[in-house]
Copies of this chain bind each other. A is one copy, B any other.
Amino acid sequence: MSSLPGSREPLLRVAVTGGTHGNEMCGVYLARNWLQDPGELRRPSFSAMPVLANPAATAVCRRYIDRDLNRTLTLTFLGSKATPDDLYEVKRARELNQLLGPKGTGQAFDFILDLHNTTANTGVCLISEASQSSFNLHLCHYLQLQNPGLPCRLLQFEPHEAETYSVDSVSKNGISLELGPQPQGVLRADLFSLMRALVAAILDFIELFNQDKDFPAFEMDIYKILGKVDFPRTTDGDLAGTVHPQLQDHDFEPLRPGEPIFKLFNGEDVLYEGDSTVYPVFVNEAAYYEKHVAFLKSEKIHVSVPALPGLTPSSTQTP
């Protein structure tokens, strides 16, 4: 697999959104902190705008009020006629579209970095749409080079629905940063500091990109979402078991056919029956119980990523 670089326009209108889910505390408190003092988000060529994406959910420390905001930024919702009965997150999606979009237009922000936490043991995980991979792959590679010893993975997805829906889909390019494990409603100092440092590094990368720096070609492993696996359930739809101890906390590690994935409440093991090795991600994420997701299956792919040449005279002369 390879990705062609897009046109090299500088990213001048950049937003960092936290609190898209109101109980994912690193982004909530980073956004609040930057709204008071945005100095950390300034770079020579741009100043990133901090946004507290879901203030009502944040105020009550819940993921959302009426529906998941990060599934609501579709053109269908954004283009629908506003009514007084609209769900809170539908109203808020329209406000964000006003602020950072309009989605799909030339007026939209150049880049949104959306901050998340998960209860799963993902470590540092960037989530990117497959269509936006070239810039985002270079971004991930930059973070890997800056943080040797810290696993930093890129998880790629293609929206199943016809249209994109996430907060970072409003801008021309965007990415989500996931950091875990952290319980909902808890702010861990170690993850707060790590996310703050990662955001700084991402803004540094954007600055280097804006300065027309050459980013050479490289190879890396990425993870591509294949599908979801639900919990074992009773005929009533209730849980009949939970994630197996051998799978719990093992995000991004290989799961081979025949290995256990669930421990039923009656003590029996449920084994993985797929044909090939997969890489589970978001294993036992609290927010995904209601989405009927015990974990996502991904495949590991080795990709060769072409250079992002700078717009210097020498590089533009290269055939």
Contacts and interface: CB of A to CB of B under 8 A. Distances in A.
Interface string A182-211: 111111111011000000000000000000
A57 to B, nearest CB: 13
Interface string A238-270: 110111110010000000000000010100000
Nearest to A193: B263
Contacts of A286: 183-186
A245 B290 CA distance: 32
A169 interface: no
A32 B184 contact: no
A119 interface: yes
A181 interface: yes
Contact of A239 (B29, B119, B185, B193): B29
B186 A119 contact: yes
A287 interface: yes
A50 B176 CA distance: 43
Copies of chain A in the complex:
2
A243 B29 CA distance: 14
Contacts of A184: 183-185, 286
A29 B289 contact: no
A264 to B, nearest CB: 10
A7 to B, nearest CB: 38
A2 interface: no
A61 interface: yes
Interface residues of A, number: 34
A284 interface: yes
A33 interface: yes
A181 B248 CA distance: 14
B289 A189 contact: no
Tell which of A119, A185, A238 has the most Cβ of chain B within 10 Å. A185
Contact of A32 (B62, B181, B185, B238): B238
Contact of A183 (B183, B190, B241, B290): B183
A265 B34 CA distance: 11
B238 A188 contact: no
A197 to B, nearest CB: 12
6 contacts: A183-B184, A183-B186, A188-B242, A189-B263, A190-B248, A193-B263
Given A29-B265, A185-B286, 6 more contacts: A29-B242, A61-B290, A181-B183, A184-B286, A189-B241, A192-B265
